[in-house]
Amino acid sequence: MDRLVITGGERLEGQIPVSGAKNAALPLMCAGLLSKDSLVLSNLPQLADIRTLADLLKGHGAELNVERDGGLNGGGRTLSIATPEITSTTAPYDIVRKMRASILVLGPLLAREGEATVSLPGGCAIGNRPIDLHLKGFQEMGAEIELKEGYVRAHAPGGKLTGGTVHFPIVSVGATENILMAATLAEGTTIIENAAREPEISDLAHCLNKMGARITGIGTETLTVEGVPALHGAEHAVMPDRIEAGSYAAAAAITNGRIELIGKNLKSVLTGSYDVLKDAGLGFEQTDGGLMCWLKTDRIQGINVVTQPYPGFPTDMQAQVMALMTLCDGASVITETIFENRFMHVPELTRMGADITVHGNTATVRGVKKLLGAPVMATDLRASMSLVLAGLAAEGDTLVNRIYHLDRGYEGLVQKLTACGAKIIREKADGV
């Protein structure tokens, strides 16, 4: 098992290209099951989750070919997915257990074949993320659902889903994506009410429309989908990763550095995080290549922030902002409303000298003058990045263990940070 060794105290300066968004790429790849023709996705990030989903799609009959740059394991950026025939409608536990996003094959399989058997994804380190809303939505489209032996068995009588009104009592990104994909091939019109509005969903909807779907209301809480008999091939570029962009902006601030994020429309991409980071003292300036980020104030400014569904402050940036606040001037209050158990990075930050008190879903962070390097353990993807940020600013060496979490969501992290002057290496942990 690998770990990161970070020698803190280096001011970061340089350029960091923002990769394609993992949270956009995964549902886009699942959309490849909806058509016999090729869906060509460019700007695809090279991550463990991408490889896991690629394996799952192959098991359903998808033919995956990398174009231009050499493959999923060789720096490839463009992936062609064609599924001329669904060879299996079962998503097995051995793959689904590795990644919750695997549940997103349920909608495409059910829509195209009229049946699907998908392993229940189980729990998650940052809290329970049940799929009840997914299943309720499919039932409202005429599907019969059975839970048996750890699997969801879904069947559409007559072989086709039917349009209907799907109302989500609470906002769910995954359920919105699953129902949206399924509705493209349903008979009749489907209206999705209280749909999640995350830009990754809009990215998916725009791609589906390129494939011949008829989706309106994109970017709003009401999506209307007029079902079509079949979808065709298309080309689509994966949107930039807004969480990666926000994370590296935080790296510029916590090291009192200056980083130019390279990518298109990054200010818009950072909606939800942009104002919070500005309140914390960050300066932003649009450049020809993207967005320049630096700390405008003498010290990081304390803030009060609450995680909310888009366009509010994203829960996926909460841990990184908390790391930033450990060095703030004064105190900060961070309230987590999306997931339970998403303060597991707090004990690790405390090991580095942070002053954090947690009461329920609220953390009070009192800024300290400095952090000290220490051995720490990552508990989930975003917690991992918070520890990297703290390590970049800390005195001495920080050893971040269990970094396989980072491999799921940050492409080329060591290389990108090293290029900006960070002292960070990846090595085998002792005894491994």
What is the C-alpha separation between 415 and 235, in angstroms, rounded?
29
Measured CA distances, 127 to 23, 98, 123, 241, 426 (Å): 18, 16, 7, 23, 29
- Edge-first strand order for the sheet with 214-216 is 165-167, 189-193, 222-226, 214-216
Q: Give the distance from CA 13 to its chain's centroid.
A: 26
What is the C-alpha separation between 5 and 397, in angstroms, rounded?
7
Catalytic residue among 30, 124, 207, 293: 124
Pairing of strands 282-286, 258-262: unpaired
Please, which residues have CB within 8 angstroms of residue 387's CB and are 6 or more apart in sequence? 323, 345, 348, 349, 376, 378, 398, 400
Question: What are the b/e assignments for 183-207, b being 16+ CB within 10 Å?
Answer: bbbbbeebbbebbbbbbbbbbbbbb
Cis amide leading into 311 (omega within 30):
yes
Instruction: Check if the beta carbon of residue 45 is closer than 8 Å to that of residue 72.
Output: no
Q: How far apart are the first and last CA of the chain?
A: 6
Instruction: Check if the beta carbon of residue 112 is closer than 8 Å to that of residue 86.
Output: yes
- And the tokens for 42? 């460019």
Instruction: Check if the beta carbon of residue 290 is closer than 8 Å to that of residue 263.
Output: yes
Please, which residues have CB within 8 angstroms of residue 327's CB and are 6 or more apart in sequence? 254, 299, 300, 367, 368, 369, 370, 371, 393
- And the tokens for 275? 């104002």
Greatest CA separation for the chain: 66
Decide if 207 is catalytic. no
Helix (H, G, I), strand (E, B) or coil at 76: coil
Instruction: Check if the beta carbon of residue 50 is closer than 8 Å to that of residue 41.
Output: no
- And the tokens for 197? 């509005």
Which residues are known catalytic residues?
A: 124
